[in-house]
Amino acid sequence: MLVNHPDIAKIAFTGSTEVGRVIREKTAGSGKSLTLELGGKSPFIVFEDADLDSAVEGLVDAIWFNQGQVWTNIGSILGCRLPTALQVDRISNGI
């Protein structure tokens, strides 16, 4: 594996958790710097006591501000409770 090469000091990997585990096992104790971005895709989390207007503004900015130019786009929206019709309407109008 490339991660075992003695001239490699830093490893950055984006992909599956399964492959990330293999890379971590292979580099354990090597002193190499390691950055792993694994599994799901950038959740946007809205807690129950959140200011919904601010959350909608943040969501819209997070999804469309960078227009795919950076790899931090929102992949899922997580909340502590099911959205009401009013909340869905606010998100739709914000988008």
Q: What is the pLDDT of residue 81?
A: 60
* Residue 36 near residue 20 (C-beta atoms within 8 A): yes
Dist. CA 73–CA 62, nearest whole Å = 6
Query: What is the per-residue pLDDT across 3-28, written as a single tens digit (0 to 9) for each?
Result: 999 999 999 988 888 999 999 999 99
User: Where do the domains of the chain lie?
Assistant: 2-38, 43-94
Q: What is the pLDDT of residue 67?
A: 62
Q: What is the pLDDT of residue 29?
A: 93
* Residue 95 near residue 60 (C-beta atoms within 8 A): yes
